[in-house]
Amino acid sequence: MLTPENMAAIKLSLELAACVTLILLIFGTPLAWWLARSESSWTAPVGAVVALPLVLPPTVLGFYLLLAMGPSGYLGQLTATLGLGTLPFTFSGLVVGSCLYSLPFVVQPIQIAFQSIGNRPLEIAAILGASPIDRFITVALPLAKPGFLTATILGFAHTIGEFGVVLMIGGNIPNETRVVSVQMYDHVEALAYDQAHPLAAAMVLLSFLTLLVLYFYQKVRGRAKTNFGVSI
Amino acid sequence: MTEMLKKNTRTSITVQLKQGKEIKHNFSLDIDTHLSDPGVVGIFGESGSGKTTFLRSFAGLLKLPSAVISFNDEVWQNDQIFVPTHKRSIGYVFQEDGLLPHLTVQQNLDYAVRRKRKVSMEGLYKKVVSILNIESLLSALPDQLSGGERQRVSIARSLLQQPRILLMDEPLASLDEKRKREILPYLERVSKQFVIPILYVSHSVEEIARLADYVLVFKQGRIVEEGSPNSVFAKENPFIGLSDEVGVVLDGVISAWDEIWELSTVSTDCGDLLIPKAGTVVGTTIRVRILAKDVSLMETPESKSSILNQLSADVLELSRDQNTAMSLVNLRVKSAHLVARISRKSIDQLKIAPGKSLWVQIKAAAVLN
């Protein structure tokens, strides 16, 4: 079955995906709200930047991140000054890279959900005496729930599946940056198919179960509100 | 219930809105109105006449530059001040989709109650729920309700807020005729039992004639006519443009009920009228609408006529009708006015002119409540 190395890779992938998803939900939600509701002309360029990882080759993103986070990059100098060392080839570096790479997969479903609420429910809440924050918590968040579910699953799954960015900035350090996708690559490179098979099968099963839960949830709700259509 | 807002201080509303065509294509707005103790204000106009803009600005849902809005002693908007919607003491009934879709009826009501500015009145909740007859709907979600039920819940919720003024934006427009008939009595009960000023937007003459104490007529972003329902609807009004709907509204009291012929005697300012089944309970106040096209004129009373109501009248003035073959005759009947719409040929044959005395026949009177 799964060797300890494979198990470690799976654990690391799950940890990374959980961290990234959590961070993105926290910071992506206000960003999605702003993109959905603001009338500022800045929403167009910001929206385009958020969508960039959808079209950029991951290696390009990884290359720039590597430069930025390295000892001579701005980010690297900042983290070094703060006494954190440099981020490349560390788990924290992977988290930062993955957050950027998975950003659109979390922000866009939430943004679409916020947009589809429309003005009316928020106007109603305002009439009933709810302050802006009150309206956000008691009306916008509950009505955007399907969007949050989609965002969580897409963000999580996409982080697990990433390869290019990890390879560029993470390398291949066991228990630190050797996630499942890198481990798979190693196995295949080494022609260790007996190792690759169980790992691949485990990932297929895990992904299928996750999606199964999502689709059952949609069926129970009776309408397919969860939006997989990630639009640019 | 009536004590709810009985301490009703005098209501005073000022709204000045200006919006040039350069801001919104093909639409300009120039409203400057001051209302004092208006009761139910009917805001009448075609779609695109600015009435919803007026209401949304008043509610703070729309922020037009250089608008001035004040309510009683509070300034809600001027050059320096903009009071956000959630701090204005208003209730608002939308045309449709006025309920929070993720909450049940009960939760919708509670949402309003929890956030309102005043301490709850004992028993208000129960009374509102029973007046609007929504007891059985409390556990339903909005999309399980019919359009009429949703509107009733919206109205109930706005009353539970105990607002100082109630805004209604075409609350019946999304309903079919049957549902409208169902809701109108509720609206009437609300306006009678809760002493609260209401701004009621509608493009239906019938609704406004039935509910309003004061009417503002909007046309292309301007108030072109205002006054009591009678003064606005009793003349051929180029702004209303519906010559079939010209008529007067009379308030009356049922003074007798004839069970055999099923006729009610209604005492009005123009005398007693016999109206089929206008009500059986003596003493009930009702409002009737007599359209100009249902009033005809004769030189002498006609004893062999099928028409029950014949009254003597004096001609006050003649005015033009949109239809050039017809003319409107403004009449005084006792202390009230009636309007008759007759052909110009009849005017010539009967030699109708101001000051002439003759008889009117009223062919039909619509009971508005």
User: ipTM score here?
Assistant: 0.81
- Tell me if residue A212 falls in helix, strand or coil: helix
Taking the C-alpha atoms of residue B312 and residue B310, their distance in angstroms, rounded to an integer, is 7
The secondary element (H helix, E strand) that includes residue B201 is strand B198-202
**Cβ pair B72, B147 in contact under 8 A:** no
Instruction: Give me the CATH code for the A4-35+57-222 domain, please.
Output: 1.10.3720.10
CA distances to B45, B193, B208, B249 from B42, in Å:
10, 18, 5, 14
- Residue pairs spanning A and B at CB distance below 8 A: 54
Walk along chain A (232 residues) in steps of 10 and give the mean pLDDT of each run: 87 94 96 94 94 92 91 88 86 93 95 94 96 96 93 91 88 87 91 92 88 80 48 33
Give the one of A123, A130, A143 whose C-beta lies nearest to B61's C-beta.
Answer: A123
Low-confidence ranges of chain B (pLDDT < 50): 1-8
Q: Do A138 and B111 touch (CB under 8 A)?
A: yes
How many angstroms separate the CA of residue B91 from the nearest CA in chain A? Answer: 7
Taking the C-alpha atoms of residue B296 and residue B312, their distance in angstroms, rounded to an integer, is 12
Q: Do A124 and B59 touch (CB under 8 A)?
A: no
How many angstroms separate the CA of residue A131 from the nearest CA in chain B? Answer: 6
How many angstroms separate the CA of residue B117 from the nearest CA in chain A? Answer: 8
pLDDT value at position B2? 38
Give the one of A121, A126, A128 whose C-beta lies nearest to B101's C-beta.
Answer: A121
Taking the C-alpha atoms of residue B347 and residue A165, their distance in angstroms, rounded to an integer, is 92
pLDDT value at position B26? 57
pLDDT value at position A116? 93
CA distances to A27, A28, A93, A110, A207 from A99, in Å:
10, 10, 10, 16, 20
pLDDT value at position B243? 59
Q: Do A124 and B99 touch (CB under 8 A)?
A: yes
pLDDT value at position A36? 95
Q: Do A127 and B86 touch (CB under 8 A)?
A: yes
Enter the pTM of the model.
0.77
**Cβ neighbours of residue B18 under 8 Å, at least 6 residues apart?**
B29, B30, B31, B64, B66, B67
Question: Alpha-carbon torsion B70, B190, B55, B218, what sign?
Answer: negative
User: Where do the domains of chain B lie, and which CATH numbers do they carry?
Assistant: 3-233 (3.40.50.300), 248-367 (2.40.50.100)
**Cβ pair B209, B229 in contact under 8 A:** yes
